[in-house]
Amino acid sequence: MILVSSYFFYGWWDWRFLGLIAISSLVDYIVGQQLYKTENKKKRKGLLLVSLFVNLGFLVYFKYTNFFIESFVEGFKLFGKDLEISTLNIILPVGISFYTFQTLSYTIDIYRNQLKPTKNWLSFFAFVSFFPQLVAGPIERASHLLPQFYKTYTFNYKQIKSGLLLMAFGLFKKMVIADRAAVVVNQVYNNPADYQGIEVVLATILFAFQIYCDFSAYSDIAIGAARTMGFDLMKNFDSPYFSRSITEFWRRWHISLSTWFRDYVYIPLGGSRKGKYRTYANLFIVFLVSGLWHGAALNFIIWGAIHGVIIVLEKATYKLRKKVFAKLNLDKDNFSNQLFFSLITFSIVVFAWIFFRADTFKTASTLIKNSFNNNFTVIFTDRLYDMGLSQGNLIILLIFILLLLVFEVYHNRLKIVSLLNKQSIFFRWSVYVVIFMTIVLFGMYGNEDKSQFIYFQF
């Protein structure tokens, strides 16, 4: 039932691309069986290469062919030669980056003798195409999710209620915050020459919250939907904007992807086992690859490089910073210091988001240049309300962003959901009704461009 539902769900977008999921699943199922049967190192490497070639071959063709063609043409232009090569009309299959990594982890883990292959092809196909997290993650490991398909599930009221509540929270973040912020972000980033100073800064900060609320909302809905059926998916976000360093940020942001790159790219490159300079190189490579994974464009590569450079600097200066803190008798856990380092980290992340959101490198450059223009007086005029949102909607957006931040602070400390479950049934259902009515009354409707989840494009 899950497999049929998942294939129907994906096929509703474009039935032709069901063949990609089916082929990837079939190849990795067979490769997994054969890897387990042989101990011949040469044959095992050959089998792993088959899995890598098929899965990454699909990914490279659909996602990067036009990027390579454009780069090839631009490269010849540097030498004064114009090549008449046009790009191909290729549709990017939704979720291909996610399910490709998910199925690859299965064969790689078997190759490393960290996992035994399943003999149940139906469970494996369902694992690869599991509809709640098929198109935007979390990217699950076979060792965690696959065994859950062997279990028999019974009706569990608490689990279903917990899943529905998490889905409602995701809908709140998506419809009330992300889609409302998208109005301002799209207005400014689609017309970069028309906005200056504080307008660009405000739009970029709002994009930071848009992409967080948009992507974490999808993860919440996916985890919640799976939970209502008895499945447990991994946590994908952990209040990332409270991080005190870029290193910590990546432990809290898109956790399933960052841990995937750690286990299947960083460690195979040598990790931190081959000296500090090799470690720095490995870290930087991982973030370049991460940028390229997000999109076949120079912007995404620069975005990944910014994070890579900062993380390398943090790693290289760790001992020096520790000595300075000790010398100055600074307590990193002091509230004022936590706030300071969180604001610095958030500022770096927001700056990098410019390259992530801008359509081209030229657009990003224009926005960065315009952001330095001093026009702080616009906050005392109606100019801010010419960015797509009315005064009332802008105030609503800022209030809900603040409430979200307050909730995340106290949820981590007080476990608000657990406290809620201890209250009377009248109080609990009052809270549920308030959440539902907030989504209904303050949700944004009627614009397909805003309502699309951002990570569907990856």
DSSP letters of 324-373?
HHHHTT--TTSHHHHHHHHHHHHHHHHHHHHHHHSSSHHHHHHHHHHHTS
For residue 422, what are the CA distances in angstroms to 167, 416, 417, 427, 452? 20, 10, 9, 10, 36
More confident residue, 330 or 163: 163
Residue 136 has pLDDT above 70, yes or no: yes
Tokens at 209, concatenated: 């919250």
CA–CA separation, 79 and 76 (whole Å): 5
Average pLDDT over residues 219-245: 94
pLDDT tens by residue, 82-117: 766 776 677 878 888 899 999 999 999 999 999 999
If residue 183 lies in a helix (H) or strand (E), which one and from where to where?
A: helix 179-189
Coil, strand, or helix at residue 192? helix
CA distances from 4 to 122, 123, 130 (A): 10, 12, 10
pLDDT one-digit tens code per residue, 354-411: 999 998 899 999 999 988 887 777 776 777 777 888 888 899 999 999 999 999 888 8
What single string gives the DSSP state of each residue in 66-127? HHHHHHHHHHHHTTT-----PPP--PPPTTHHHHHHHHHHHHHHHHTTSSPPPS-HHHHHHH
Residues 264, 253, 137, 145, CA torsion sign: positive
pLDDT of amino acid 325: 81
The token pair at 396 is 């609503």
Q: Is the pLDDT of residue 22 over 80?
A: yes
* pLDDT for res 45: 93
pLDDT band at 280 (very low <50, low <70, confident <90, very high): very high
Does residue 307 carry a catalytic annotation?
no
The pLDDT > 70 percentage for the chain reads 95
| Cα atoms in the Cβ-side hemisphere of radius 13 Å centred on 215 | 26
Q: 144, 294, 307, 411: which is the annotated catalytic residue?
A: 294
**Is 70 exceeded by the pLDDT of residue 74?**
no
Omega before 138 cis (within 30°)? yes
Q: Quick one: average pLDDT of 221-241?
A: 94
**In the predicted model, what is the mean pLDDT of the chain?**
89
Long-range CB contact pairs, 119-124, < 8 A, 24+: 119/33, 120/149, 120/150, 121/29, 122/3, 123/149, 123/150, 124/25, 124/28, 124/29, 124/32
Q: pLDDT of 170-194, one tens digit each?
A: 999 999 999 999 999 999 999 988 8
Identify the pLDDT of residue 171: 94
Helix %, strand %, coil % of the chain (to 5): 75, 0, 25
The angle formed by the CA atoms of residues 45, 47 and 50, to the nearest 5 degrees, is 110
What does DSSP assign to residue 235?
A: P
**Residue 250: what pLDDT?**
95
Query: Residue 380: is it exposed, middle or buried by C-beta count within 10 angstroms (0-12/13-18/19+)?
Result: exposed
